[in-house]
Every structure is written in C-alpha cells, then in structure tokens.
C-alpha cells in the first residue's frame, strides 16, 4: 500500500491502476506512514532507539528496485540495514551492560519497579529488628513511617504504569534491563572470522546472517534499547539466494524466479523464514524480566507480500499471523478466516490498537476502516 513520490502510478495519480487486492491506488494514503513508525513515534519515543530496521538481501545488487516496508510520518522510506555488523556496532559498540550487581538484585529492581514488591519488602528482616528495639510509642511512629513509604512507592508504580516510564512492553511492562542483556557474549561470537566487502550478501553466509539478526533483535529488546523492531527478509523481486538454515535451495535460480515457478525450493525458503521467526520467539522466551519473559509482553506480527498466486505476485489472501498475547490482551491458538478480498490493513489497525493507539482507524488503505474484531474478541 505504500507509494513513492517519484512514481505517479504508485501514488494514485493514475486513476485506473488496480492492485492485486481488488483496490485501486486511489484508496491508498498519498503519504504512507507504516505501522512500525507509528509505534516508534508512540511507545518507542522514550527509548534509546525509537525502532530498529534490519533486512536480509533487501539491497543486493540485481534487485530491480528497493521495496521498503517502513515509512515515516513524512512519507519517506526507512530502508533496512542489511549488514548485521553495522547494526551491531551502531547499537552495542559503546553499550555497557548496567552493573546492578547479581541477577537476584536485577530481579529485585524489576519487581519493585513493576509494583510486584515494595522496597521495604527487601528490608523486612532488618526492620523487624529495629522495631523490636523500640518502645511502644516509637514503634507506632515507625510503622506510620513505613506506611508512608508504601504510599510513595505505589504512586511511583502508578506513574510508571501509565506510560511515563521507559519500559519494554506496549502496556506498561518491565522498566529495567533484563539479566539476559549480554550482547557481546550473545552476538559477537556469531560473526564470521573473515568479513569481506558485502560478505552479508554471500549465499553461503545467509544462514549466519539470519542467526545474527535474530540475536541482535532479541538483545536490543533485552537491553532495553528499543521496543519496536522490523525484520525484512528480502522482497518479492529478490534477485539473489538467501537460504536460512535447513533450506533445500536451488542456487542456480534466484528467489524471485523460484516464486514464479512456485516450486519446492521456493516453499523450502518460505518454511525456512518461518523457522527463523520461531527461533526468535524461543530466544525471546528465554529473556526474563522478573517473573515474566520478553515474549510474554510482546506481540510479533508476521506477514508476506505474496498471497494465493505466488507465480503472479498475487496480493489476495495474504497469510499473516500474530505471536504472543501481549500480556493477556489477546487469546492465542486460533486460526481466523476473514472473507476473501478484505484488505490486510485491518489487521495492521488491530495491532496498532492493541499497542495502545486506540484512536487509530486506518493504515495505508483509507477504505479499510477499523480492526479485525475476531482477533480481540
């Protein structure tokens, strides 16, 4: 649904140009503003980075034109960074893991900041000793002082949970860095020993690039650097090969031409990309924030730009799915069938509203108004 300022057809100036989803470009916003950037400008605005945007082979030589999926509020494209080393250096080059002591201490910070524990709860043993040494009058005054501290603590928790804190979830979740924040140990050892110019476009290193970008995404959130991430795996006109781990690829045929053939190697590549998403979710589940995991309070939206007719770049019946419950806001384990021809933009609105943008009505397609009610029902 995005348009380019120098492309009259894409920007709707050609009134007769139809899209594959039975809409016309006249239905599209002339100034595209993608979901990720809307989230970056709301829940991400207080983060170190409002959002991060990584890609795999999105700008490889041979692709006929760039196909970004991220567009800022001014209608300008945000092109993904394909080089994982550049992303790593940018995010973690000068990053120092907060020295809050042991993991037990880190968990205590999270428990207090999320309201699950009081500061005084960690001092009760010492406080009881102090109270027992006081007289009746002093003990009563001391108890009143503790009550006042409790009230201050509750006020702080309420302030943080109404969105004034720099936290990791869309609904007022964890505010501290996870004890699992350790980018140098988790990521630095994954880089190849030899990184030639544009090494990340080498077909043989594609599985390694997937692994690196997956780890970077998880660590960026574990370290509370960002709360919004985009991971673009190629594009529909992909004139290269980028097989992830376990893919049975045909190296003599580009991914683009594989799509036109709709053959086994194309299917294997698509399956491989979905496995990468599953691995990322598994890694997110291992990142703890107190008694929750990063995944517990995260929503992962996954979709493709090709629908039923892969050979013709068809845009009808695009498969999309959501992973996670966002702290219990939605129920998982369901398959929802919408009527054929319904624009996927409704699902984008759904995600935006779930993440707190309750006034959001449309994204991209001006006629696709409102969310998919079945998702939140």
Q: Pick the closest to residue 46 from 238, 292, 225, 286 (CA basis).
A: 225
Q: What is the dihedral of CA 146, 151, 153, 157, to 10 degrees?
A: 160
Place of tokens 């933009």: 345
What pLDDT does residue 61 have?
83
pTM of the model: 0.76
- pLDDT at residue 342 greater than cutoff 90: no
What pLDDT does residue 327 have?
85
What pLDDT does residue 18 have?
43
Mean pLDDT of the chain: 81
Which position has the higher pLDDT, 329 or 309?
329
Structure tokens belonging to residue 161: 């949970």
Q: Pick the closest to residue 48 from 165, 166, 159 (CA basis).
A: 166
Phi, psi at 157, each rounded to 5°: -65, -45
Confidence of residue 16 (pLDDT cuts 50, 70, 90): very low
Minimum mean pLDDT range among 20-34, 39-53, 143-157:
143-157
Range with top average pLDDT, 207-216, 301-310, 315-324 = 207-216
- pLDDT at residue 26 greater than cutoff 60: yes
Q: Which helix (H) or strand (E) holds 300?
A: strand 300-303
Place of tokens 């936290």: 167
- pLDDT at residue 102 greater than cutoff 90: no
What pLDDT does residue 261 have?
86
What pLDDT does residue 19 have?
47
Other Cβ atoms closer than 10 A to 194: 7
Minimum mean pLDDT range among 62-66, 290-294, 298-302, 364-368:
62-66
Minimum mean pLDDT range among 19-33, 150-164, 309-323, 355-369:
150-164
- pLDDT at residue 113 greater than cutoff 80: no
Q: How far apart are CA 92 and CA 105, in angstroms?
A: 23
């Amino acid at each position: 649904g995005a348009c380019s300022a120098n492309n009259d057809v894409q920007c709707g100036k050609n009134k007769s140009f139809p899209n594959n989803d039975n809409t016309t470009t006249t239905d599209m916003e002339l100034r595209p503003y993608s979901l990720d950037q809307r989230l970056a400008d709301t829940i991400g605005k207080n983060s170190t980075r409002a959002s991060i945007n990584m890609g795999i082979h999105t700008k490889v030589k041979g692709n006929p034109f760039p196909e970004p999926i991220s567009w800022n509020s001014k209608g300008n494209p945000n092109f993904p960074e394909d080089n994982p080393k550049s992303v790593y250096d940018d995010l973690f080059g000068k990053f120092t893991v907060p020295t809050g002591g042991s993991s037990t201490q880190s968990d205590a910070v999270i428990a207090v900041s999320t309201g699950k524990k009081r500061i005084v709860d960690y001092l009760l043993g010492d406080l009881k000793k102090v109270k027992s040494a006081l007289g009746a009058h002093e003990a009563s005054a001391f108890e009143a002082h503790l009550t006042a501290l409790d009230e201050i603590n509750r006020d702080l928790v309420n302030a943080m949970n109404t969105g004034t804190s720099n936290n990791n979830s869309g609904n007022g979740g964890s505010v501290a860095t996870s004890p699992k924040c350790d980018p140098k140990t988790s990521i630095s050892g994954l880089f190849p020993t030899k990184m030639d110019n544009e090494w990340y476009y080498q077909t043989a290193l594609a599985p390694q690039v997937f692994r690196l970008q997956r780890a970077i995404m998880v660590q960026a959130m574990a370290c509370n650097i960002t709360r919004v991430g985009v991971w673009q795996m190629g594009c529909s006109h992909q004139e290269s090969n980028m097989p992830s781990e376990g893919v049975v690829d045909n190296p003599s045929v580009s991914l683009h031409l594989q799509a036109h053939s709709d053959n086994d190697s194309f299917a294997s590549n698509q399956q491989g990309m979905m496995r990468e998403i599953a691995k990322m979710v598994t890694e997110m589940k291992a990142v703890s924030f107190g008694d929750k995991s990063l995944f517990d309070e995260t929503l992962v939206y996954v979709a493709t730009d090709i629908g039923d007719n892969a050979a013709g770049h068809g845009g009808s019946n695009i498969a999309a799915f959501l992973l996670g419950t966002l702290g219990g806001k939605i129920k998982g384990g369901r398959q929802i069938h919408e009527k054929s021809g319904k624009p996927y933009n409704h699902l984008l609105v759904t995600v935006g509203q779930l993440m707190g943008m309750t006034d959001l009505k449309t994204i991209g397609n001006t006629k696709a108004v409102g969310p998919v009610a079945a998702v939140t029902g």
